[in-house]
Structure 1
Amino acid sequence: MRVGFVIKVQKEFYIRNLRYFIRTAKEEDAKILSEVRLEIDGETENMDREKGEAYIDEIGFKKIIKDDTKSENNLFLVAMVNDNIVGFSRCESNNLKRTSHKVEFGVCVLQEYWGYRIGRNLLNESILWADSKDIKKITLNVLESNSKAIELYEKFGFEVEGVLKKDKILSDGNYYNTILMGRFRNE
């Protein structure tokens, strides 16, 4: 298990008659994570990738989980419904001294499970972890058209730090901006 903050016991949530758990990812989750990520990438244009792009197979996810477990400043969480992974999030740091105070957050949830606060709870658990690790800043990127996500991030104290103009081209043939957001730890 991870040194420092770990969701040692699954945290249970019950929203709109759906019971789910959030816990730290395990290596045995790798195969399902590969499948879930591929499915999520095909469900929405809110992700950086189209379905099948930058594919991570079971071996790749095992390595990510193993590395995250060893790293003091990485966190990989999964959301479980009836023993099935329906979403996940990661906070990833790097080994550079000048940026060791921050992590980058990413989250994805199967569309069937939108509206149950799974993304919100993955974000909240990640913030609690980051604060416990004395991480000063959490960053994320979000497509400008994903207004629900932007609104959620703002509720959690994230603020717009910049805009990457015409950063993504979507299936409608139009270019969209990527919003760069950051949350600074309250001192």
Structure 2
Amino acid sequence: MRVTQTEYLIKDLHYVIRSAMESDARQLSEVRLQIDGETENMDREKGEAYIDQEGFIEIIKEDTNRLSNVFLVAVVNGRIVGFSRCEGSTLKRSCHKVEFGVCVLKEFWGHGIGENILKESIIWADNNGLKKITLNVLETNEKAIKLYKKYGFEVEGVLRSDKLLSDGNYYNTIIMGRLYPSTVRES
């Protein structure tokens, strides 16, 4: 699905958030590879589960044609500096929710790009009748956890000793979800 482009000016940085286009595929492949090498907050190490230009073209085509998916990019002066995906399911029992993931090049941290991509994703989900957004975040990514909580995400579970990082230690993955009030059921 496509969204309307939104412009931002934060700390003297002008950027837009828009739907990914097939012409973005080469840049997306390069940016994903770079981000994976800049932080251990991602699921992959640099080069793992590599997606080439053709792979991104297929993902963008699928996301553009499916009402339950959206692929957003953050662009500064024609350069993709971050992206996110909300991926839904075609299964009837799960079609009310999407899984969210976001990444931003380290040199562009601190300009609200991740937060604004998150806000745009929430708006998209609200406008499309989705009832839940889920995500996974490494326990050491305290800034992201705080941001997600600010936007109504709650901790739903913990995957203990889920990720092995470069320091040789295992870390927990936090599972978070944002439910829409009409779907909250008291236990």
TM range (shorter): over 0.9
Measured on the aligned residues, the alpha-carbon RMSD in Å equals: 0.7
Report whether the alignment pairs 1:98 with 2:129: no
Pick one of 50, 62, 69 that aligns with 2:64: 69
CA offsets per residue over residues 77-126 of structure 1, 9 Å max, x none? 00000000000000001111110100000000000000000000000000
User: Which residue of structure 2 lines up, in the alignment, with residue 44 of structure 1?
Assistant: 39
User: Which residue of structure 1 lines up, in the alignment, with residue 170 of structure 2?
Assistant: 175
Distance 1:99 1:71 in 2: 15
Distance 1:98 1:179 in 2: 23
CA offsets per residue over residues 31-65 of structure 1, 9 Å max, x none? 00000000000000000000000000000000000
For residues 101-120 of structure 1, the aligned pairs below 5 Å read: 101-120=96-115
Distance 2:166 2:142 in 1: 18
User: Which residue of structure 2 lines up, in the alignment, with residue 160 of structure 1?
Assistant: 155
Report whether the alignment pairs 1:27 with 2:22: yes
Q: Residue type matched to 1:41 in 2?
A: D
User: Which residue of structure 2 lines up, in the alignment, with residue 15 of structure 1?
Assistant: 10
CA offsets per residue over residues 11-42 of structure 1, 9 Å max, x none? 11000000000000000100000000000000
- TM (norm. structure 2) is 0.96
User: Which residue of structure 1 lines up, in the alignment, with residue 136 of structure 2?
Assistant: 141
Distance 1:185 1:71 in 2: 21
Cα drift, residue 7 of structure 1: 2.4
- TM (norm. structure 1) is 0.96
User: Which residue of structure 2 lines up, in the alignment, with residue 55 of structure 1?
Assistant: 50
User: Which structure 2 segments of 5+ residues have no match?
Assistant: 183-187
User: Which structure 1 segments of 5+ residues have no match?
Assistant: none
CA offsets per residue over residues 113-157 of structure 1, 9 Å max, x none? 000000000000000000011100000000000000000000000
Q: Aligned residues, how many? A: 182
Aligned identity (percent) is 67
Q: Secondary structure at the match of 2:93?
A: helix
User: Which residue of structure 2 lines up, in the alignment, with residue 81 of structure 1?
Assistant: 76
Report whether the alignment pairs 1:151 with 2:146: yes
